[in-house]
Amino acid sequence: MRSKKIGVFIMLFISVAVLSGCASNSGPIKSETSDGFTIVTSFYPMYVETINVTKDVPDVEVINMTQPQTGCLHDYQLKPQDLKTLAGADAFVVNGAGMEDFLADVIKQEKNLKIVEVSEGIDLIKDESGEDNAHVWVSISNSIIQVKNIADQLSELDPDHAAAYQSNAAVYIAKLEAEKEKMHASLDAVSNRDIITFHEAFPYFAKEFNLNIVDVIEREPGTAPSPKELEDTIKLIKASNVKALFAEPQYSAEAAQTIANETGAKVYSLDPGVTGEADESADDDYLKVMDSNLKSLEEALK
């Protein structure tokens, strides 16, 4: 009998050790004994907005679910690691508007997880196929709405820190408003407003600053345009006054450069702000991206 008990104890000990070993290699999973409030964000723009709302709030942890280099979540497939991370979360901050195609699977798997969908109240733009364009955060005005939504919904979920969330949101929104005002002061007087972008990330940005997107080089990111599409874009540029092509730092600019070589147009950069390092230094990343975008537009259009 004693030998059987010892055998059972050894098996239990081995099981615990194995499970502990798996946890140590499984990434940012909330400890089951944690008394804090854990927030998971779906991708980098949501992470930047959320860490500004939760800045210096005690016992609140923010984890970005996807790799900061993932970019937009086009066709992103949930990994077992993602579900483990979400299992330890108190709230999941998502862009919504169709960006996270996997959201239905998350809701099905984690029925008690609180979803903070931050694009609520934003007027969505339809793309050519009639689907909602989800890149709402690229507009500063929309980013402000998202920050307000994050603060309001976190305040409901974690009322002990509601005052801090609202105060942080007000500070960050003031910075966003100042950035928007600076960009408008520079861009509102520009006469040439025709641009060609890399993919469908910039309709809200263009609406914000009254820019006219004449054409999009790649409708689906990562999918090279066909020879016919390249030819059509080249003809369009030659027949118009478009002088600027805007590629994104997250993708190869090969197609844009090919068009530029054939037309004499120049290639510049516009960044939708979807990549970066998910750490405390990321709080000003969106503002830095907008500063960089402003410099590109000033050089291209003035």
Residue ranges per structural domain of the chain: 28-182, 187-301
Indicate the pLDDT class of residue 40, thresholds 50, 70 and 90.
Answer: very high
pLDDT tens for each residue of 104-126: 999 999 999 999 999 999 999 99
- For the domain covering 187-301, report its CATH number: 3.40.50.1980
pLDDT of 183 above 70:
yes
Q: How does pLDDT run across 152-166, given as a tens digit for each residue? A: 999 999 999 999 999
β-bridge mates for residue 64, sequence order: 41
Q: What is the pLDDT of residue 33?
A: 37
Q: d(Cα 153, Cα 50) in Å, to the nearest integer?
A: 11
Average pLDDT over residues 279-302: 95
Q: Per mean pLDDT, which of 3-7, 33-37, 229-233, 296-300 is the most reliable?
A: 296-300
Cα–Cα distances in angstroms (integers) from residue 26 to residues 9, 29, 32, 61, 90, in the given order: 26, 7, 14, 17, 19
Domain 28-182 is classified in which CATH homologous superfamily?
A: Nitrogenase molybdenum iron protein domain (3.40.50.1980)
- Which pLDDT does position 9 carry in this prediction? 34
Name the percent of the chain lying above pLDDT 70.
86
pLDDT range class, residue 206, cuts 50, 70, 90 = very high
Q: Which pLDDT band holds residue 219 (cuts at 50, 70, 90)? A: low
**pTM to 2 decimal places:** 0.86
- Range in 30-39, 137-146, 164-173, 241-250 the model is least confident about: 30-39
- What pLDDT score does 222 carry? 62
Mean pLDDT of the chain: 86
The predicted structure's pLDDT at residue 221: 62
